[in-house]
Structure 1
Amino acid sequence: MNEQLKTFVQVAETGSFSKAAEKLFISSTAVMKQMNVLEKQAGIPLLNRTNHGVRLTEAGAAFIKDAKFMLQYYQESLIRMRQAAQANRYIVRVGTSMLNPCKVLIDLWNGISSLSPQFGISIVHFEDDAHTLPATYRTIGQSFDIMVGPFLADRWKAHYRMLELGSYRLCFAVSRHHRLASKKTISVTDLYGERLAVVNGGNCSVIHEIRDFLIKNHPQIRMKEVPRLYDLDVFNRCEESNTVMLTLEAWADIHPSLVTIPSDLDFALPYGLLYPLHPSEELHQFIALIQEMNVDRLGEPK
């Protein structure tokens, strides 16, 4: 039943058996078979199949929220079960995505994990979708305990704490066919006459400063303000429209058709851990360990 629920959620979100199959790494035939079994067990149709895709029936629309809840509850139950089986061992749930990878934290943790056997890590994937990310930021501590990434969402700072681990360099991303694609560094003056996409759906103060600096000092650049969060769709649109995009060095390999080139902007964007406002005592201890390890790594307090 768990696999059928996962498949049902993917079909509902993508509106397609084939797209759901790609997400789940199974065949379209397997997806259809699972949906047939689920509908047979339910005793009513959950999906309308058309030549233009798949849509939820009224019953399916009523069931989708419950399906997502059951999947989340199932994952949380597994964690509780494993915690009980491992006695005093505390499992820290780390959220990860393409734009918010957890590698920085894992690298830090691998350096001290043998000295802290009371902790373990469970990786929880979430989607980089501009429509769902606001809820992800606001509910840190529910589906996962820690999120690793750049501090881009000042708008929701009241919902989580932050532990800074370092900073990312600002870069420009251009299509591989763009006139600037072969440059080693892109200066601001190279962008005169170009469209520059500045994404700031999170109301990030650093992005605001960069935007204001460019508007005031370099009006020759055609600014395109994007009032949404960074997600893969933004990268796709910038590549398709041959628009330059303000981006981060950490995202150099996100889109295969974009080249990420360092800029001469004198700005940096902090990155680190986002965690609940009221962490458990165990999570607080884990955060303290990471902070201590990071101070040793940098040689200075954060």
Structure 2
Amino acid sequence: MEFRYLVSFLAIAEELHFGRAAARLHLAQPSLSQQLQRLEREVGVELVSRTSHEVRLTPAGEAFRKEAERLVGQAARAVEAAKAAAQGRSGTVSVGFNFPAGLSVLPPTLARLAADHPKVQAQLWERRSGPQVEALLNDELDVGFVYGRPRTAQLESRELLSLPVVAVVAPRHPWARRESISMLELGERPCVLFRRGQSPAMHDAIVHAAARAGTELVVAEEVDDPLATAVVVAARPLLGFASAARAVRAGSQGLVAVALTGPVPRLNLYAAWRAGDTSPVLEAFLASLAASGPFTWREPDPEPGPDRLSPAS
């Protein structure tokens, strides 16, 4: 059964006049009549009753009309879905992110995406930078928000903002009441660090800042998960590290955030995606990201008192 026969039949059913239906379809009236006859032969019943005074649907035609409208409507929706996907107006973009991105970058970006491309959905995955880069290279993510520019030609990136690394300790730690800790002093106390592969840029920022200050970290434990790091730091007299964004917002751990100085380790946040990826949904997401910037990290005003608890993990 040819699709055009269904379209012609529906025009006749709506107009109940062969001349008007033919004009609407830009067909000659004899051609329209032939299409109806072929359709009726295929269906095996009369669908339209026509006299010199009246054109009407038969009971079979009324039943056939409902299903024909459903089929033609589905075809139209299929065409629209294909066009929307090709233009980046529908589909799913898989997004990896870390804490600062989730705090400062994603909310305005997703709001803009929803406004400009309401049928594009974002699936979000919180991961450290190393696993995000691996997932991007394995086509598991479309875009990631990571620390440090990815050092591979397979990925493109865009710098978004810069923020410092701080130390985090339990309230009973000897340094909990300090306003700041110099990097040189880190060689005097054991710390918790993560494996470099989890977040190379953050790892290097901390280790290299200590080296520039003339010391070396005393790593008592390697813990990769940020929440587990907070638990270990809360339970033992160890020093941990966090981005300033996480240190300000993760209050449930009840830890103290202390500034690092001399020099201050800093992190640059990047958006990264596969080089040459021209998928419409990715382009829609990146356009929303660009329209939502620029992004900046503003350190919060310090609260009075040396006993201020600043959350971290």
TM-score (norm 2): 0.52
Note if 1:124 corresponds to 2:124.
yes
* 2:227 partner letter: L
CA distance in 2, matches of 1:213, 1:119: 45
Partners of 1:101 and 1:148 within 8 A in 2: yes
Q: Determine the C-alpha separation between the residues in 2 that align with 1:98 and 1:206.
A: 12
Write the letter of the residue equivalent to 1:287: L
Partner of 2:218: 223
Aligned to 2:183: 188
- Measured after TM superposition, the shift of residue 97 of structure 1 is 6.3
Query: Structure 1's 184 and 96: CA in aligned 2 closer, same or farther, altered over 3 A?
Result: farther
Gaps of 5+ in 2: 1-77, 297-313
Q: Tell me if the contact between 1:100 and 1:147 (Cα under 8 Å) persists in the aligned partners.
A: no
Are residues 1:291 and 2:286 paired?
no
Deviation of 1:182 (Å): 2.7
Aligned-pair CA distance for 1:214: 1.9
Deviation at 1:102, TM superposition (A): 2.8
Of the structure 1 ranges 177-186 and 225-234, higher mean CA displacement relative to structure 2 is found in 225-234
Query: Per-residue CA shift, 1:46-79, capped at 9, x if unaligned?
Result: xxxxxxxxxxxxxxxxxxxxxxxxxxxxxxxxxx
Match among 128, 139, 163 for residue 168 of structure 1: 163
How far off is 1:121 after superposition? 3.5
- 2:183 is the alignment partner of 1:199: no
Distance apart, 1:178 and its partner CA: 1.1
SS at match of 2:253: coil
Query: For residues 112 and 223 of structure 2, what CA distance do their matches in structure 1 show?
Result: 37
- Asked whether the equivalents of residues 94 and 140 of structure 2 are also in contact (C-alpha less than 8 Å), the reply is no
Letter in 2 for 1:194: R
- Cα deviation for residue 271 of structure 1 reads 0.7
Q: Give % identity.
A: 12
So what's the TM-score if we normalise by structure 1?
0.54
Judge conservation of contact 1:151–1:270 (CA < 8 Å) in 2: yes
Query: Given the alignment of the two structures, is residue 214 of structure 1 paired with residue 210 of structure 2, yes or no?
Result: yes
Distance 1:232 1:206, change over 3 A: closer
Kept after mapping to 2: 8 A contact 1:92/1:122: yes
- Per-residue CA deviations over 1:217-236 (Å, capped at 9, x if unaligned) read 343x6521867755433333
Q: Indicate the SS of the match to 2:177.
A: coil
Instruction: Tell me the distance in 2 between the aligned counterparts of 1:277 and 1:106.
Output: 21
Contact 1:96 1:102 in 2 (8 A): no
**What's the CA shift for 1:208?**
2.8
Which of 234, 238, 243 aligns to 1:243? It is 238
1:167-208, Cα deviation, whole Å (9 max, x unpaired): 121111111221222333333355462123343523735643
Does structure 2 conserve the Cα–Cα contact (< 8 Å) formed by 1:199 and 1:225? no
Report deviation, 1:269.
0.7
Query: d(CA) in 2 for partners of 1:84 and 1:98?
Result: 32
Residue by residue over 1:103-154, the C-alpha shift from the partner in whole angstroms, topping out at 9 and shown as x without a partner, is: 43333325644762366332333566xxxx85543222744422224338x5
Q: Which has the higher contact order (CA 8 A, sep 6+)?
A: 2
Structure 1, unmatched stretches of 5+, are: 1-80
How far apart, in 1, do the equivalents of 2:224 and 2:152 lie? 15
Distance 1:175 1:157 in 2: 38
Bigger CA radius of gyration: 2
Q: Note the C-alpha offset of 1:285.
A: 4.6
Deviation at 1:165, TM superposition (A): 0.8
Does structure 2 retain, via aligned residues, the 8 Å contact 1:201–1:227? no
Displacement of 1:249 in angstroms is 0.7
Equivalent residues in 2 for 1:1-302, closer than 5 Å: 84=81, 87-88=84-85, 89-95=89-95, 99=99, 102-109=102-109, 112-113=112-113, 116-117=116-117, 120-126=120-126, 136-140=132-136, 142-151=139-148, 157=152, 160-188=155-183, 191=186, 193-202=188-197, 204=200, 207-208=203-204, 210-215=206-211, 217-219=213-215, 222-224=217-219, 229=224, 231-252=226-247, 253-254=249-250, 256-264=253-261, 265-282=263-280, 283-295=282-294
